[in-house]
Structure 1
Amino acid sequence: MFRTILQISIILAFIVVILGAYTRLSDAGLGCPDWPGCYGQLSVPDVKDGTTIQGFSRPLEAAKGWKEMLHRYAASSLGLTILVLFFLALKGNPQRYQSLKLPGFSTFFVMLQGAFGMWTVTLLVHPGIVTLHLIGGFVTTALLIWMLLNQSKPPAIYQHTFKKHKLILLIVLGTLSLQIVLGGWTSTNYAALSCGKYFPKCLNDWWPNMDFSSALYWGPLGANYEYGILENPARSAIQMIHRIGALITTLLILLLIYLFRNYTRFRSNLILIAILLTTQVTLGILNVVLSLPIIIAVLHTIVALLLLLSVIKLVHRAFKVPT
């Protein structure tokens, strides 16, 4: 049962990340201006669009409200399944030994994620809070995947991994994680189109006017950050940092694939990572030249998560010694 609930949790985690990305990219983060309900109700009020509901200054947009509420329903379901996992581990139900540390931390973390979901709304889509909420979704999924990997059978043939290669693997994991954070920061500051449709140039220039001092601007709590508040030179700087980070991450992953090419037991992992990397770079370019179509933007988020999980699986296989 533990493994079944764990697999359901992972599916829900993917759904939550997808719905979260879709909600953010369709500017529906404030579709319900309160939390956890929507205009004081458990679902979107059944009234005409544009109606100003008593107690709320923001007129209702039902489509945006439903996007936000579906995201909340899925996130609540995920929280419940993770809580069930904790109780199953507490009773000792996993097929393979699972300490309480990981299910316990996952339970705590998903509750923290709920708090960030609330702050995303109450702090009016502050880019720092929204970025942390996005990262939290990725971390939650990674924790569940790590638990599932712990439940898997050890490999029949074990091949020793050199320490220097393990170090490169950890560097790639850290760099990729930072690049995902930069991607979230680019999205939440509405900087994805700050370079226009130009690639690899930005605003038809290799190094346009950019304000790097404001690129990591946190900003005060309480201001309304919907559609962003930074000037375009700061947004262009964010976009260029993300592009440079993408180049560095790509080169490091290619180095990883080259160094690990002789480990036969990692071959399928490396092929998957190569496919996902190629797809992710392509989607990133298409986001720019096609002016951020929502389907491609959401896919860019999904593939980033899949790429991260693929590297995490490689870490698990390289560091986990069969007993």
Structure 2
Amino acid sequence: MYPPPSTLWTFLLRRLLQISLVLTFLVITAGSIVRMTGSGMGCPDWPKCFGLVIPPTQISQVTWNSNKFFNKGQMIIYDNKLLVAKESFLTDNNFVSSKWKNYDRHDYSIFNPIHTWIEYINRLIGALLGVPILLSSIFIFFRFRSHPRWSLTIIAVLLMLCLEAWLGKVVVDGNLIPHQITIHLVGAFIILGLLALLYRSVSSEWETHAFLAERKIHGILDTRQKVYRVFILLGLLMGIQIVLGTQVREEVDVLMKSLGVNVSRDGWVDQLSSMVLVHRSFSLLIIAFSYYLMRISKGLAGLHFRAGIIFIVFILQALLGALMFYFDIPKIIQPIHIILSSISWFLIIDGAFKSWLMIRDFKFSSPD
């Protein structure tokens, strides 16, 4: 249901905040992957990566060679040290040390292209997060008098985002000092909390207008009740799927304990029981019901968006499950799969409760 002109401003602000929340979840997820893979020093400098805007993909890009052009600030690994070009120049047949200076922030000088790109993607998502937050700030500042709390909250988010960017530099310069990493993670959760508070406040204003409009729709109560029942059904199906997934995970843990954590996982799927096939097939049933929920909830303020996100999350979970099944359970996919499960579970519970509240409020507010 497209919003009336009087609520267009709130509608657009909600969309920007939704994008901000999604990107914040992605930042936290990317950060966990960086830590899991040990990729925190994949880019030894900040904000660039080896002095480049686009990170290197092969060792030849970060090593000295004759007749090769280097830009000022570009970094190489030479004699197990990081060197920085003092100026832009073309190399000759001999290495000239006077054109280089030691990188004195730390002594880490290892190049791993996988780690480099994992860290770069983490930074890129963080940078993208700044775009919807900045646009949200502009939107809110135009309504400072009518919504001073929103303005103060978005200012706090902006300040925290700047602090997080600075902490990112400190973490890299300090070669991943443990307490700095922890503070960096806490900062991300603070941003998420502030955005959640702001989003719920903005949504309350938007939904007030939307609920009033919905009351004029014939049969809206029946639609809400149907959506509520499907949310409950999805919750039951998701609960069963979580139990099935837990059983599969326990089998994987047994293999890890007997074969080792860092060994190749080739052939592990073949050693799992038929439970993995049941778990995989059950996901198709959940996807079908989540698509049905998305269709029948169209036009219901707040519920249709939740249903759409649930459907997308279930599709992503199924794709990740297929990757784990056909590529011998890559370690990097497991935490993402779990994170998506927790998100979908939260959205189902939240949607069921919200739809129940909408039914209750409609009945109590209806004239006798």
Larger gyration radius, structure 1 or structure 2: 2
When you count helix as a share of all residues, which structure comes out higher?
2
Return the TM-score normalized by structure 2.
Answer: 0.44
